Structure 1
């Protein structure tokens, strides 16, 4: 049974989340503030953390930073903050996903299932170097991509972008993180670079580049790789 830590100071929302999660077989702990969240995370070792950013004692981004000092537990941010820079700050601090309030409970539960599944897959096969999905085969060790049985030629920059996304399957990777890792900190705001190279990757890897299945854009936030 997966255990979820809900970090939220709205009692009505906490109650709704606890009822829905327990009804689906999850174990649930709840924390009304950041200090309690950090203490419970260390004591209970949750499988997923659901975190509001607007906490009474500290900013949720500081909670993310505190958790990332010792754990890679998936962190799903639930927040009313809609500004792109605030979303990016949470993702850069180490959040795995960002869901804007108000949200659909069905969508939240789907994101939660995906986070749990990724964690389980990582535990089962931490050293995997071959990603196979649909008509794509990505060999991370050999740095090769095959589509429909044929080789796909990627530039070094295209490969770097693809490798970062593929090694974080299902996780939203922020624009800033991609820019810093591929082009360096000096170009961390050049989002036009990403648009150009992601378009090139889609043309090479997607069956329908205009409606991508694997290389998904989260507008104003970043990109994710879906298997």
Structure 2
């Protein structure tokens, strides 16, 4: 495991390093205190995991996350003291894979790290991957990309998993709770709003008119359904 911790608190860096060492004794853990330095390290060292604080001395953790997402799909776990709804939703909207508040519980932290990594680095024997074709939509969840109407579209890890969940139940209604449990495996604060963020991002990439979707259909008060060959009448 090659990880990068971006945090200005040496105590947190040490705690995260010790936690990761429990599961991956031979892990290579780098760290830095500054957001700009962290961005450069992600670009130069290609870590398999980034743990990111939002309160950095030089730039906002949000800006660091946005910059990382502009060139990398690496799983990013936000670890912060901020617990307000707006902070959580904003982080997920910018591409965070999970959001954990300080102080954190060691085993919950590790479980959530493993959950994020398992979705980004699926094992060959895992049965949760999808590589299939629905009309004009060809989707490969392992590569995290799809071809739709002849256009290749790159997806983030969570966008890919959200699409996989819907396609796995195509034509059926998938509840917010089902999506939450499949995405994270645990309760996430304001999960409905976060899921809406991901679905809206998918619509921006897939729908001809995202405000009048024909592929991913909202089921009011319940969740979503997907209809690759067109919505039901």
Pairwise TM-score range, normalised by the shorter structure: 0.5 to 0.7
Match of 1:197 in 2: 222
Aligned to 1:170: 184
Match in the other structure for 2:72: 71
How many residues in Structure 1 have an aligned counterpart in Structure 2? 175
Q: Is the 8 A contact 2:48 2:75 kept in 1?
A: yes
The answer for the alignment partner of 1:14 in structure 2 is 13
Q: Distance in 2 between matches of 1:53 and 1:100?
A: 11
Task: State how far apart, in whole Å, the 2-side matches of 1:63 and 1:124 are.
Answer: 34
Corresponding position of 1:3: 2
- Give the aligned partner of residue 131 of structure 2: 128
Alpha-carbon offset, residue 42 of structure 1: 1.2
User: What is the deviation of 1:101?
Assistant: 1.1
Instruction: Please give the per-residue CA displacement for 1:18-65, whole angstroms capped at 9, x wherever unaligned.
Output: 233234322201111101111111121111100000000011111111
Q: CA deviation at 1:196?
A: 1.0
Mapping of residues 1-227 of structure 1, within 5 Å: 2-24=1-23, 25=25, 26-121=27-122, 128-129=131-132, 145=169, 154=172, 158=173, 165=179, 169-170=183-184, 174-178=194-198, 180-181=200-201, 196-198=221-223
TM, length-normalised to structure 2? 0.61
Flag structure 2 segments of 5+ consecutive residues without an equivalent. Answer: 133-139, 142-162, 213-217, 226-233
8 Å CA contact 2:49, 2:76 repeated in 1: yes
Would the aligned equivalents of 2:93 and 2:198 in 1 still touch at CA under 8 Å?
Answer: no
CA RMSD of aligned residues (A): 4.0
Query: Contact 2:34/2:59 (CA < 8 Å) preserved in 1?
Result: yes
CA distance in 1, matches of 2:92, 2:16: 22
- Would the aligned equivalents of 1:5 and 1:50 in 2 still touch at CA under 8 Å? yes
CA distance in structure 2 between the aligned counterparts of 1:60 and 1:97, rounded to whole angstroms: 14
Report the Cα offset of residue 178 of structure 1: 4.5
Are residues 41 and 178 of structure 1, via their aligned partners in 2, closer, same or farther at CA, if it must alter by over 3 Å? Answer: closer
Tell me: CA distance 1:37–1:127, structure 2 relative to 1, closer, same or farther (3 Å).
same
TM-score where L is the length of structure 1: 0.62
**What SS is found at the alignment partner of 1:121?**
coil
Whole-Å Cα distance in 1 between the matches of residues 124 and 73 of structure 2?
Answer: 12
Contact kept? 2:112, 2:184, Cα under 8 Å? no
